């Protein structure tokens, strides 16, 4: 699945929501690669989007990214500047444990459950495995994760943009966690600077998974920014 495929999927979902709700526009919240795809959808179908939230999303292609850019495992060693499709294939197998390595590394205290609720972490792992009906057929159980998200991310950080924020004609909220391992400060700044009507909120000590962490670890600030931006008082009534 690449950007065009994701945009088509979002379009189908939005069309369904518009039909049953009777509203002509929806607001969209996109996280990480989901934010990249949400931005692509919003630039293609701006008339369907009321407000857009992009958090911990890649965008700027002028700098380096150790994990996702040039010189990273994502780059084809035989074709510099190209995604290593032969190594990653159409999808990768991810175990429950693989979901927590980067998350754990970004939490600045030894007792991880003080930063996030153990029950939330358990539910997150359960939901990921449940997303693939074949997960229990492997040991340890694993879910298939399409590699297109990594290919799109490699393209973004190496300067191959698939959409431009200047085409976002709706109010945009850009949120970035200070401890994010995925997006960089320059990504959030570029989005906020280029989108015509954008606001940038940085949550200094939050992780990439801020929406799943405890309130004191950034979730309260994250939800406050979301509800303020998406609340009824912030959205104008839609014409029939």
CA distance 140 to 124: 17
pLDDT in tens, 144-166: 999 999 999 999 999 998 999 99
Task: Tell me how many domains the chain contains.
Answer: 1
Classify residue 204: in a domain, yes or no.
yes
pLDDT in tens, 26-80: 999 999 999 999 999 999 999 999 999 999 999 998 878 989 999 999 999 999 9
Is 224 or 239 the better-scoring residue by pLDDT?
224
What is the structure's pLDDT at 1? 84
Classify residue 221: in a domain, yes or no.
yes
What is the structure's pLDDT at 234? 65
Angle at the Cα of 71 from the Cα atoms of 74 and 89, rounded to 5 degrees: 15
Classify residue 189: in a domain, yes or no.
yes
What is the structure's pLDDT at 240? 43
pLDDT in tens, 75-115: 999 999 999 999 999 999 999 999 999 999 999 999 999 99
Classify residue 128: in a domain, yes or no.
no
Output the CA torsion 30→201→51→29 (10° steps). 20
Classify residue 203: in a domain, yes or no.
yes
pLDDT bucket at 239, cuts 50 / 70 / 90: very low
pLDDT bucket at 236, cuts 50 / 70 / 90: low
Classify residue 215: in a domain, yes or no.
yes
Q: Is the pLDDT of residue 16 over 60?
A: yes
| Structural domain span for residue 185 | 1-61+164-240
Classify residue 209: in a domain, yes or no.
yes
Query: Sheet holding 172-177: strands in order across?
Result: 26-31, 49-55, 172-177, 198-203
Distances in Å between the alpha carbon of 88 and those of 81, 148, 155, 183, 207? 15, 9, 15, 21, 26
Average pLDDT on 191-206 reads 97
Closest CA to 39 of 212, 154, 203, 169: 169
Classify residue 125: in a domain, yes or no.
no
Distance of CA 79 to the CA centre of its chain: 27
CA distance 240 to 238: 6
Q: CATH no. for residue 46?
A: 3.40.50.1820
pLDDT above 70 covers a percentage of the chain that reads 97
What is the structure's pLDDT at 204? 96
First-residue to last-residue Cα distance in the chain = 35
Mean pLDDT score across all residues of the chain: 95
Q: Which residues pair with 159 in a beta bridge?
A: none
């Amino acid at each position: 699945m690449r950007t065009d495929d994701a945009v088509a999927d979002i379009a189908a979902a939005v069309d369904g929501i518009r039909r049953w709700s009777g509203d002509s526009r929806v607001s969209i919240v996109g996280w990480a690669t989901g934010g990249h795809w949400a931005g692509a959808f919003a630039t293609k179908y701006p008339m369907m989007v009321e407000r857009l939230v992009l958090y911990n999303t890649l965008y700027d292609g002028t700098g380096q990214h150790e994990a996702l850019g040039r010189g990273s495992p994502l780059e084809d060693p035989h074709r510099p500047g190209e995604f290593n499709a032969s190594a990653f294939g159409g999808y990768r197998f991810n175990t429950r444990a693989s979901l927590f390595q980067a998350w754990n590394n970004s939490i600045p205290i030894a007792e991880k459950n003080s930063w996030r609720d153990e029950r939330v972490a358990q539910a997150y792992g359960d939901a990921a495995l449940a997303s693939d009906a074949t997960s229990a057929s492997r040991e340890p159980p694993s879910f298939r994760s399409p590699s297109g998200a990594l290919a799109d991310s490699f393209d973004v950080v190496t300067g191959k943009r698939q959409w431009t924020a200047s085409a976002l004609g709706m109010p945009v909220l850009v949120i970035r966690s200070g401890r994010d391992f995925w997006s960089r400060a320059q990504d959030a700044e570029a989005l906020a600077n280029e989108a015509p009507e954008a606001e940038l909120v940085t949550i200094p000590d939050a992780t990439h998974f801020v929406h799943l962490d405890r309130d004191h670890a950034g979730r309260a600030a994250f939800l406050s920014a979301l509800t303020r931006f998406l609340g009824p008082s912030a959205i104008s009534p839609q014409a029939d």
